[in-house]
Amino acid sequence: MPLALFTICLISGIYGSEAGGGQCKISERSFLGKALKGHTFKQFAVRAIVECQNTCERDPRCASYNFYIPGKVCELNSQTKEERPEDFVTDELRFYMRREGTIICLFSPVYFLDLLVEVRTCECQNTITNFVPLDDDECLKTPPVCDVNANCKNTLGSYLCSCIEGFTGDGKTCQDLDECQMSTHNCSDNGTCINTEGSFNCSCKPGYRGNGYNCSDSDECQMSTHNCSDNATCINTEGSFNCSCKPGYRGNGYNCSDIDECSRGTHNCHSSLASCTNTVGSFSCSCNNPYSGDGRTCYPLVSECQNYGSLNSADRKITYSGSTGYCDNGIGPGWFRFEGSAGTRMPTSCPPNYRCGANVPGWMNGGHPTVADGQVTRTVCFHHGGNCCRWSTNIKVRNCGPYYVYYLSGTPSGFCPLRYCGTN
Ligand SMILES: [Ca+2]
Ligand SMILES: [Ca+2]
Ligand SMILES: [Ca+2]
C-alpha cells in the first residue's frame, strides 16, 4: 500500500505549546519508536490510525494504545507509560499514544521506515494527516551536488559526497592527489612517476626497461642499442653503459681513432734494425735490409749465421765436472754455435778449473755484441791454476739475433787440456 494512504496521528513531545484556547494541553502523549508492553487487552487491524484513536476513546478500559506500523494494528492498553514506566520500551515498529488529552497540530520531520517524512501531528481536531515523503534524491540532481570526481550517497533528508580514489577534498570539491609528490606511488626506484588526474603513471628511467613498477637495467651492449665506436668495447653498467676504445685506438669510446704507434714511439719494433709501419688499429715491424726476422728481433743475412758447426755435448757445459780428457786443439777453424746440452753461448767470466771436460776451461773476456755491432773480435782466456788467463787466443763473434756464432781455431800451442766452454 502506498505511503500516501497510510495515515497516522502523532503528537510530538518535543514541540511543547498551547493551542485551542488552553484546552489543547501538550503532554508527552505520543512517542514514535516506543510501545507499552504487556498491557494490551485488545488488538485489531485498521485501515487508518484514526480508527485506533476512535476505538480507544469509546472504550472505557483504554488508557493508551500502541500502533504497530507495518501491519497497521491497534493494540489497546489498559495502562499508561506513567503507570508502568518499566514496561515502556523501545520498539522501532510501533508508536505509543496516550488516550486522554487535547490535541494540537504540529509539523515535524521524522524518520519512518528509512524515509524522511513530514508528520502532521494533531490533537484537538482529531486531524489525521497523510505521510508526505520529504526526502528527495539529491544524487540525481542536475547539476550534480557532488564534485564530478566524488561519489554521491543519498541519505534521508540529505546526501553524502566522498571523493573517489585518487582525489582528496570534502566531496563537494575534489582535487587530484599528487602521488608522485607525496611519494605514495609504487613506481620502481628506477622508474619515474608522472602524476595524472586521479592517478599516476610510472615509466622506467633511461637505461632501464620494464613496466615502470619493475624496472631493470637494460644491457645496451647485448641489445646493440649503445652508440660506442665500432673501434670500442661496450661495457654494460647499471642504468647505462661505458665505451672504451680498443687497443690500438684512442678517443672517448664514442669516437676512436687509430694510434700511430710508429710516430708516437710506442711500437716494439727493433729500435735500429727494423722499420715500423702504422696500420689501422695496430702497426707492423719489418727488419731492414740486410737483416731478417719478425721485426722485433732481426738478425743479419750473413753466411755465418746460416752455416756453422754445432757444439752441443753436455761435457762442454761449464757446469760439467766429470772427465777432463777433452781438448779443442784440433777444432776449426770455422764458425760454431753453442746449442743443445752445451748451452747457448760462451761464458764471459772465469770458470773454475776442471770444467767443460778439460783441465783448462776457456771463457770469453768481453761482452757479447749486439746484432748491429756486426762481427767483432774477442779474446778467449784459458784458466789454469790461479791464472784466469794463463793462455789466450782471439776469436770472432757475431750476434745472429736469436743466437751467437763464434769463429774458433785450435787452442793455443796445440796444448791439449784447453777447451772452449759453453753456458746458458
Ligand atoms: Ca594523481
Ligand atoms: Ca645498462
Ligand atoms: Ca695504428
Ligand 1 centre distance from Cα of residue 155 (Å): 29
Q: Counting Cβ atoms within 10 Å, is residue 367 exposed (0-12), middle (13-18) or buried (19+)?
A: exposed
3-class secondary structure, 190: coil
Ligand 1 centre distance from Cα of residue 213 (Å): 16
Q: Of residues 287 and 128, which shows the higher confidence score?
A: 287
End-to-end alpha carbon distance in the chain: 127
Q: Does residue 199 carry a pLDDT above 70? A: yes
| pLDDT, tens digit (0-9, with 9 covering 90-100), for 31-50 | 788 999 999 999 999 888 88
Instruction: Return the amino acid letter for 139.
Output: C
Query: Residue 105 to residues 15, 50, 124: CA-CA distances in angstroms?
Result: 10, 15, 8
Ligand 1 centre distance from Cα of residue 194 (Å): 8
Q: Which ligand is nearest to the CA of 218?
A: 2
Q: Which ligand is nearest to the CA of 239?
A: 2
Confidence of residue 415 (pLDDT cuts 50, 70, 90): low
As a whole number, mean pLDDT of residues 264-268 equals 93
Enclosing H/E stretch for 407: strand 404-408
Q: Is the pTM of this model over 0.85?
A: no
Q: Does residue 16 carry a pLDDT above 70? A: no
Q: Which ligand is nearest to the CA of 217?
A: 2
Q: What percent of the chain has pLDDT over 70?
A: 83
Q: Which ligand is nearest to the CA of 231?
A: 3
As a whole number, mean pLDDT of residues 340-359 equals 93
Distance between CA atoms of residues 332 and 216, nearest Å: 79
Ligand 1 centre distance from Cα of residue 167 (Å): 7
CB-based neighbours (< 5 A) of ligand 2, an ion: 217, 236, 241
Ligand 2 centre distance from Cα of residue 219 (Å): 4
User: Which cell numbers hold the place of 366?
Assistant: 768481453
| pLDDT, tens digit (0-9, with 9 covering 90-100), for 84-107 | 889 999 998 888 888 765 343 444
Ligand 2 centre distance from Cα of residue 204 (Å): 13
| pLDDT, tens digit (0-9, with 9 covering 90-100), for 220-230 | 999 989 999 99
Q: What percent of the chain has pLDDT over 90?
A: 59
- C-alpha of 140 from chain center: 48
DSSP string covering 144-189, please? -SS-TTEEEEEETTEEEEEEPTTEEESSSSEEE--HHHHT-----T
Residues 6+ apart with CB under 8 A from 297: 270, 401, 402
Q: Does residue 22 carry a pLDDT above 50? A: no
Query: Residue 57 to residues 22, 52, 373: CA-CA distances in angstroms?
Result: 21, 9, 151
Q: Are 76 and 42 in contact (CB under 8 A)?
A: yes
Report the mean per-residue pLDDT for the chain. 84
Strongest mean pLDDT among 64-68, 134-138, 333-337: 333-337
Residue 30 has phi, psi (to 5 degrees) of -120, 140
User: Which cell numbers hold the place of 421?
Assistant: 766452454
Distance between CA atoms of residues 121 and 133, nearest Å: 15
As a whole number, mean pLDDT of residues 194-222 equals 95
Confidence of residue 361 (pLDDT cuts 50, 70, 90): very high
CA nearest to 281, candidates 255, 253, 257, 263: 257
Ligand 3 centre distance from Cα of residue 352 (Å): 52
Residue 211 has phi, psi (to 5 degrees) of -95, 5
Q: Does residue 127 carry a pLDDT above 70? A: no
Ligand 2 centre distance from Cα of residue 221 (Å): 8
Q: Which ligand is nearest to the CA of 165?
A: 1
Confidence of residue 299 (pLDDT cuts 50, 70, 90): confident
